[in-house]
């Protein structure tokens, strides 16, 4: 660890605990060694970080600014260290919620057969936060809807490749009135719908006439975080949902739902995002291949 990072770690402990004595105890160093470290940091940077009295330790304005950055600096260092030490034995993936529901289980099963000793962490979070984690090397791979990926920044720091693209279909319980005749899109949208995701980036990617029609009907009535809930709602009620063709076909095969083509131009398009400027690891490439195979099969 560089000398500066050691000093910053010690500064962060004093700031967080508001005490030199408690910080020294936590860091397992002497009070005098900690005091000397903070003095050294102040001298190197030519700035005062704490106002000290016999009863309290208060950060200066400069100390408060450093405290805001110190936690991120330490976390990034720890993440980089863990990644280097683990090598290809750890894989961190961040996905959209609908992606986790739709294709991660199949891809993970296929990946596990090839890499049984690799530990995999899969989580979901807002795309902008996920992108920041990727750029900071705190994640190895992002999987989001392609329309969401287009809005990610900084664009020049990201390598993007399309891994899945197929039409959405409308899915509904057997016997639903929607399958009794040829209905226009306007008539179809008059039903209640439950849709996973459907964030602003995806809506903005749709043709304007379709966006306007969705807005007119208040589509969807139920915007749910995960696709499983939408499926269960469609099975148990007259609510319709949008599903990728492959997912709808598997549910139709066991009689849970039926499906028809969705008249609007909407696709389930997923992109894989990795950091620009470095070759993806074998584990990342194999997981992307497993995602593709899940839908290709």
* More confident: 3 or 61: 61
The answer to whether residue 177 scores a pLDDT higher than 70 is yes
Cα(178)–Cα(192) distance, integer angstroms: 12
Confidence of residue 289 (pLDDT cuts 50, 70, 90): very high
Q: What is the mean pLDDT of the chain?
A: 89
The answer to whether residue 55 scores a pLDDT higher than 80 is no
Angle at 120 between CA 133 and CA 144, to 5 degrees: 50
User: 221-274 pLDDT, tens per residue?
Assistant: 999 888 899 999 999 999 999 999 999 999 999 999 999 999 877 889 999 999
82-96, 142-156, 168-182: which range is least confident on average? 82-96
- Note the pLDDT of residue 82: 66
Task: Look at the block and give the residue holding tokens 């005749």.
Answer: 181
Q: Which residues of 208-232 are buried (b: 16+ CB within 10 A; e: fewer)?
A: eebeebbeebebbeeebebbeebbb
- Note the pLDDT of residue 102: 86
Type and span of the H or E element at 65: helix 61-86
- Note the pLDDT of residue 285: 95
Task: Look at the block and give the residue holding tokens 């469609």.
Answer: 234
- Note the pLDDT of residue 182: 83
- Note the pLDDT of residue 52: 83
Confidence of residue 197 (pLDDT cuts 50, 70, 90): confident
Q: Which residues make up the CATH 1.10.10.10 domain(s) of the chain?
A: 3-84
- Rounded to the nearest 5°, which phi and psi values hold at 260? -140, 155
- Rounded to the nearest 5°, which phi and psi values hold at 195? -130, 135
Task: Look at the block and give the residue holding tokens 């966006």.
Answer: 211
C-alpha count within 13 angstroms, C-beta hemisphere, residue 103: 30
User: 93-124 pLDDT, tens per residue?
Assistant: 999 888 888 889 999 999 999 999 999 999 99
- pTM beyond cutoff 0.75: no
Instruction: Specify the CATH architecture of the domain 3-84.
Output: Orthogonal Bundle (1.10)
CATH number of 96-297: 3.40.190.290
- Note the pLDDT of residue 3: 62
Q: Which residues make up the CATH 3.40.190.290 domain(s) of the chain?
A: 96-297
């Amino acid at each position: 660890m560089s000398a500066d990072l050691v000093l910053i770690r010690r500064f962060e402990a004093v700031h967080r605990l508001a005490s030199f004595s408690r910080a020294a105890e936590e860091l397992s160093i002497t009070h005098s060694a900690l005091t000397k470290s903070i003095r050294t940091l102040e001298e190197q940077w030519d700035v005062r970080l704490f106002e000290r009295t016999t009863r309290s330790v208060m950060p200066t304005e400069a100390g408060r600014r450093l405290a805001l950055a110190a936690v991120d600096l330490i976390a990034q260092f720890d993440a980089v260290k863990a990644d280097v030490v683990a090598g290809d034995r750890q894989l961190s993936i961040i996905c959209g919620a609908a992606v986790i529901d739709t294709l991660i289980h199949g891809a993970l099963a296929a990946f596990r057969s090839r890499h049984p000793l690799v530990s995999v962490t899969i989580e979901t979070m807002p795309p902008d936060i996920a992108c920041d984690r990727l750029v900071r090397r705190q994640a190895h791979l992002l999987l989001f809807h392609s329309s969401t990926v287009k809005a990610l920044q900084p664009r020049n720091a990201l390598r993007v490749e399309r891994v899945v693209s197929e039409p959405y279909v409308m899915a509904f319980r057997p016997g639903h009135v929607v399958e009794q005749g040829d209905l226009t899109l306007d008539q179809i949208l008059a039903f209640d719908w439950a849709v996973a995701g459907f964030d602003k980036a995806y809506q903005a990617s749709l043709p304007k006439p379709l966006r306007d029609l969705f807005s007119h009907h208040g589509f969807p009535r139920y915007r749910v975080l995960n696709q499983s809930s939408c499926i269960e709602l469609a099975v148990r009620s007259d609510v319709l949902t949008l599903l990728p063709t492959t997912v709808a076909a598997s549910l139709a095969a066991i009689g849970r739902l039926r499906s028809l083509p969705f008249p609007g131009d909407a696709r389930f398009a997923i992109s894989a995002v990795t950091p620009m400027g470095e070759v993806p690891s074998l584990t990342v490439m194999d997981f992307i291949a497993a995602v593709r195979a899940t839908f290709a099969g």
